[in-house]
Amino acid sequence: MKLLRFGELGAEKPGLVDDDGQIRDLSAHVDDITGTTVTPEALDRLRAIDPTSLPRVDPDTRIGACVGSVGKLIAIGLNYADHAAEANMALPEEPIVFFKATSSICGPNDSIEIPRGSTKTDWEVELGVVIGTRAKYVSETDALSHVAGYCIVNDVSERDFQLHRSGQWVKGKSHDTFAPMGPWLVTADKVADPQNLAMSLSVNGQTMQDGSTRTMHFSVATVISHLSQFMTLHPGDVIATGTPPGVGMGQKPQVYLGEGDSMVLSIEGLGEQLQTCIAALG
C-alpha cells in the first residue's frame, strides 16, 4: 500500500495510490497520515478499503510530506562504506546519530531554500524508515517488525554550517525545506528487502549518486535496535538511514547547489522526488 498526503502546505489531506497510479482521497476514513494511522491495526483498516470507492484526486495536486506530525526526525551519518571513503572519514564503530528539526520537513517536490549566507548546500538521497509500533530495547531480530514503511528522504545539508559553525550537525541540517519526504509511504509488506534497493540522485540532469542500500554499514535493523537502546521510538517517527557516495562535498572539485539548480531523486519501488532550489524565504 502506498500512502501519501496531498493539498496545500499545512492543509494536507490523507490519500493512497491505487493500482493504476491514481491518487485517492482517504479523508472520509482518517484525518491524516500520522503516527496513529501507521500502526498495524490502523494500516489493516486502510487495506480493507476498496480504493475504487474513494474519490479521485486531481493528479496536478501538490503532494505533501508522506507523514505528518512527525515526533522525531532522526538521521544516521556516514552509514555507507563508499560514502565514508569519499568523505575521507573512517567508518564509525557505532551509528552516528543526529537530529533534523521537524520544521525542515516538506513535500517531495517542494522548492529547496538555499539558506542566507550559504556557500555549501548539498544533497543526500536516503532511505527513510517510518516507525509503526513503539520500540524500546528491541533486538536486531525483532527490529523490522516495528517498521510501518519506507520512503525517500533528501537529507539536504549546508556543509559549512554543519562542520564549521560549532556544536552539533543540526545547524547544517535543519533549515526550512531541508527534509523533502515522500512522495509515498510504502508499507513494509511491499518492500521485500530494505537492504537491496537501488537509489539515485541527479543535479541539473547529471547523475551524481548511483548506489544501493546494499552498501549500508549498519543495516536498517541494526539502526533501529541501536536507537531503541537510547530513546523510545514511537509510531510516526522517521529515521533517515544515510546516503551513498556522490554528494557535492565528495566531488573533486566540490560542487554545491545554487538558485535555479534542480534535483531528481529516486529509490527503487519508493517513487521519485523533483526539487528546484530558490533563495531562502523570510
pLDDT, tens digit, 9 for 90 and up, residues 82-133 = 877 777 778 899 999 999 999 999 999 999 999 999 999 999 999 999 999 9
Q: Is residue 50 part of a domain?
A: no
How many structural domains is the chain composed of? 1
Q: Is residue 244 part of a domain?
A: yes
Q: How high is the mean pLDDT of the chain?
A: 96
Query: Which pTM does this prediction carry?
Result: 0.97
User: In Å, how far are 119, 122, 151, 224 from 263, measured between CA atoms?
Assistant: 18, 11, 17, 29
- The pLDDT, as a whole number, for residue 90 is 83
- The pLDDT, as a whole number, for residue 86 is 79
- The pLDDT, as a whole number, for residue 88 is 77
End-to-end Cα distance, the chain? 38
Count other Cβ atoms within 10 Å, centred on residue 275. Answer: 23
Q: Is residue 39 part of a domain?
A: no
**Domain range spanning residue 108?**
68-279
- The pLDDT, as a whole number, for residue 15 is 98
Q: Which long-range contacts (CB under 8 A, 24 or more apart) does 195-200 make?
A: 195/219, 195/220, 197/127, 197/267, 197/268, 197/269, 197/270, 198/267, 198/268, 199/125, 199/127, 199/244, 199/265, 199/266, 199/267, 199/268, 200/125, 200/265, 200/266
- The pLDDT, as a whole number, for residue 154 is 98
DSSP type of residue 117: T
Q: Is residue 119 part of a domain?
A: yes
Q: Is residue 217 part of a domain?
A: yes
Q: Is residue 233 part of a domain?
A: yes
User: In Å, how far are 103, 133, 253, 275, 278 from 259, measured between CA atoms?
Assistant: 21, 40, 19, 11, 5
Q: How confident is the model at residue 161 (pLDDT cuts 50, 70, 90)?
A: very high
Q: Residue 203 maps to which CATH number?
A: 3.90.850.10
- The pLDDT, as a whole number, for residue 182 is 98
Q: Is residue 153 part of a domain?
A: yes
- The pLDDT, as a whole number, for residue 106 is 98
pLDDT digits (tens, 9 = 90+) for 30-85: 999 999 999 999 999 999 999 999 999 999 999 999 999 999 999 999 999 887 77
Q: Is residue 19 part of a domain?
A: no
- The pLDDT, as a whole number, for residue 141 is 98
